[in-house]
Amino acid sequence: MTTSFLATDNWWDLRDLSNLSGAILDALDKIAPQGVVYVAAPIIGFIGAFALFTLLSQLFIGVLGERKIIGRIQSRYGPNRVGPYGVLQPIADVLKLLTKEALTPSTADRLIMYSAPVVFVMPAILVWAVIPFGPNMIIADIPISLVYYLAVTSIPVLVTFMAGWSQDNKYSLFGSMRVVAMAISYEVPLVVSLLAIVVLTETLSLKEMVLWQDTYNIWLLLVQPLVLIIFFICASAELNRTPTDIAEAESEIVAGYLTEYSGMKWGLFYGMDIGYALAASAFAATVFFGGWTLFGLEEWVPPWIIFILKVWAFYFLFIWTRGTLPRLRIDQLMAFSWKYMLPIALVNLLVVCTERILWTDAFDGDKPFVYLFAIVNIALAIALVVGWARFVGYRPERTPSRPRLVREAGGYIPVSSVSGEGR
C-alpha cells in the first residue's frame, strides 16, 4: 500500500475500523466451526457500513437534515416538535408509517406490487459493498468496483417500473414510462463521462482512484470538473431528485409510480431513495473528492469520519437543488441528455485520452503535468459548457423579463409598437 496511513494493527485503533472487525473475525475463527467466518464477515460489514452509517445517515441527514435545510431555504422551521430540535422526528415518522394501513388496489398485480419495495431495498444495500470508507475498510475490495456501482444502480430502474406497472393506475403507469425513458437516456452520458476518469486514472477500482488522488495530491474534481457536473446531473436524474423528478412529479401525476403505495411499502421506497442518493454522494466523494483522504489529515482524524463528512457535504448539493429549482419537462430532459451532455462528455473523453497518451508517452508520467491537465480541463469545461450552450442553447423568442408598461387603457398593442413605456 502506498498510502502513508499511520493506523496500527491494534484492534482498539479506531482510525481503521477494519482492525476491529478483523480481530473479531480472527477470534471467531478460533472458536467457531469452519465456514462461520464467511457468514460473519458480511454481516459485520453490513452492520458497519449499512446499519451504522447508512441507516443513521438516512434517518438523520436524509430525512431530518433534508427537511430542516429545506425548511431553512423556504424560510420556515423544519420539524422541531419531536425531541430536542426535532431529532426524533424520523423515528416518529417510521412508527407512523409502520402503523399505517398498506392499501392495495383490487386490480393490482399483488405479487409484483408487494415484491417491488423489497427488491428496491436490495441494490441500495449492495452498493455499499464497494464503497471504501478507509484504506482497509471496504467490504468487497474488487478490482472493478466502478462497474459494479454502475451495474447495481441500474437495477432500481426496473424496480420502479415494476412498482408503477403493478398498481394498475394511470398516474403510476405514466410515471414508470417516464422513469424508463429517462433512466436509459441518462445512463449513456454517465458512463461515457466516467470513462474519462477511468482513462485518466487507469483503474476501475474506487480504492485505487482514492490512492491516485492521494499520490498526485489533487482531487479529481479539479482534474475533471466536467465529469463531476455530468455525474451530478445524471445522478439526480436517475434518483428522481427535483430538477428531474418527472417520475413522481407531484403537480402533474400526483406521485408517479408511488401513487398507490402507502404505509411502510411507501416508506421503503422513500427511505431507499435517500439511500441511493447517499450512495451516489459516497461515490462522488470517493471519485471526485479524494475519498477518505484530506491532504494528510487522515493520519490524525479517523479516515472514515472524513469520508462520512464528505458524503454529507455532497448530499447537501442534492438538498440544495431540490429546494431551488423547478422541474423540467420530459422532452426537455431527454434533449438535454442527448444533445448537451452526451456530446460534451464525448469531447471530454477525447481530450482526456489525448492527455493520457501525451502523459504516458511524452512526459513519462511526471507529476506536475496533472496540474497542467487540471488547468486545461477546467478551461475546457468552462469553454465547452458555455460554447455548447451558445451553440445549441434553448432559445425561444427572447422577450424581456419585464413587461411593457402603458398609461392608458386601450386595445391590443403590438410588440413592435413603441408606445409602451418599457424599461
Partner 1 sequence: MEGFGVTVAFWILAAFTLVAAAGVMVARNLLHAVLFLVLTFLGIAGFFVLLSAEFLAMAQVIIYVGAIAVLILFAILLTPRSGRQNSETRFALPATLLAICLAAVFIFVIFDADWSEVEEDPSLAASELGEALVSTWVVPFEIASVLLTAALVGAIMLVRSPEEEAEDALA
Partner 2 sequence: MSSPIKSEPFVINVGPQHPSTHGVFRLKVTVDGEKVVDAEMIIGYLHRSMEKLAEERTYTQNIPFTDRTDYLSSMSNNLGYCLAVEKLAGIEVPERGQAIRVIMAELQRLASHCMAVGAFVNDTGAWQTPIMWLLRERERILDLFEMTCGARLTCNYMRIGGVAFDLPKDFVPQARKLIRDMPGFIDEVEGLLSENEIFVARSRDIAVIPPELAINASLTGPMLRGSGIAWDIRKADPYCGYEKYDFAIPIGYRGDAYDRFIVRLEEMRQSVRILEQALDGLPGGPHSTQVPLALRPPAGEAYARVEGPRGELGYYVVSDEGPSPFRFHIRPPSLINLSVLKEMTVGGTVADAIVALGSVDIVVGEIDR
User: What are the residues binding partner 1 (CB under 8 A)?
Assistant: 35, 38, 109, 111-112, 142-144, 147-148, 150-152, 154-155, 157-158, 161-162, 165, 173, 177, 180-181, 183-184, 187, 204
Nearest distance from residue 66's CB to partner 1, in Å? 27
Does residue 390 touch partner 2 according to CB under 8 A? no
Say how far apart CA 181 and CA 188 lie, in whole Å. Answer: 12
| In the complex, minimum distance from the CB of residue 395 to partner 2, in angstroms, rounded to a whole number | 10
246-265 residues near partner 2, rule: CB under 8 A: 246, 249-254
Instruction: Kindly tell me which residue out of 27, 350, 375, 406 binds partner 2, with binding defined by CB under 8 A.
Output: 406
| Cβ distance to partner 1 smaller for residue 13 or 168 | 168
CB 143: neighbour CB atoms within 10 A?
A: 12
Smallest distance, Å, CB 407 to partner 2? 6
DSSP 328: P
Q: What minimum distance in Å lies between the beta carbon of 201 and partner 1? A: 12
CA distance 141 to 207: 8
Here the cell at position 122 is 436490495
Residue 418 touching partner 2 (CB under 8 A): no
Note whether 382 binds partner 2 by CB under 8 A: no
Helix (H) or strand (E) holding 385: helix 368-392
Q: Residue 98 and residue 301: Cα distance in Å, rounded?
A: 39
Residue 227's CB: how many other CB atoms inside 10 A? 29
Q: How far apart are CA 314 and CA 239, in angstroms?
A: 14
The H or E element spanning position 315 is helix 303-324
Nearer residue to partner 2 within complex by CB, 22 or 323: 323
Cite the DSSP H helix spans in 74-224. 89-99, 110-126, 145-153, 155-166, 170-201, 206-216, 220-223
- Work out what residue 215 binds among partner 2, partner 1, none; the CB cut-off runs from 5 to 8 Å by kind: none
124 binds partner 2 (CB under 8 A): no
Q: Quick check: 76 binds partner 2 (CB under 8 A)?
A: yes
Is residue 420 near partner 2 by the rule CB under 8 A? yes
Confirm if 259 and 165 have CB atoms less than 8 A apart. Answer: no
Question: 44 with 24: CB under 8 angstroms?
Answer: yes
As a whole number of Å, the CA-based R_g of the chain is 25
- What mask of x and - would describe binding to partner 2 in positions 289 to 328, judged by CB under 8 A? ---------------------------------xxxxxxx
- Tell me how far, at minimum, the Cβ of 180 lies from partner 1, in Å: 5
Q: Interhelix angle for 263-288 vs 206-216, to 10°?
A: 40
- Cβ neighbours for 119, distance < 8 A, ≥ 6 positions apart: 155, 159, 162
Which span (55-63, 168-176, 308-316, 349-357) binds partner 2, by CB under 8 A? 168-176
Sign of the dihedral through C-alpha 301, 304, 305, 308: positive
Please state the closest distance from residue 322 (CB atom) to partner 2, in A.
Answer: 6
Find the angle CA(181)-CA(177)-CA(238) to the nearest 5 degrees. 50
> What is the nearest approach in angstroms of partner 1 to the Cβ of residue 151?
4
Residue 47 or 386: which CB sits closer to partner 2? 386
Rounded to a whole number of angstroms, the minimum distance from the CB of residue 38 to partner 1 is: 7
Minimal distance, residue 190 CB to partner 1, in Å:
11
Does the protein bind partner 2 through residue 70 (CB under 8 A)?
yes
Question: What's the CA gap between 244 and 252, in Å, rounded?
Answer: 13
Would you say 207 or 322 has its CB closer to partner 2?
Answer: 322
- Give the burial string for 320-357 (b: 16+ CB within 10 Å, else e): ebbeeeebbebeebbebbeebbbbbbebbbebbeebbe
Closest CB to partner 2 among residues 30, 402: 402
Residue with cell 471467531: 28
**Which one of the spans 10-18, 30-38, 241-249, 352-360 is the region binding partner 2 (CB under 8 A)?**
241-249
Q: Which stretch binds partner 2 (CB under 8 A): 128-136, 149-157, 213-221, 413-421?
A: 413-421
Binding residues (CB under 8 A) for partner 2: these are 70, 73-76, 170-171, 174, 242-243, 245-246, 249-254, 322-332, 394, 396-397, 399-415, 420-421
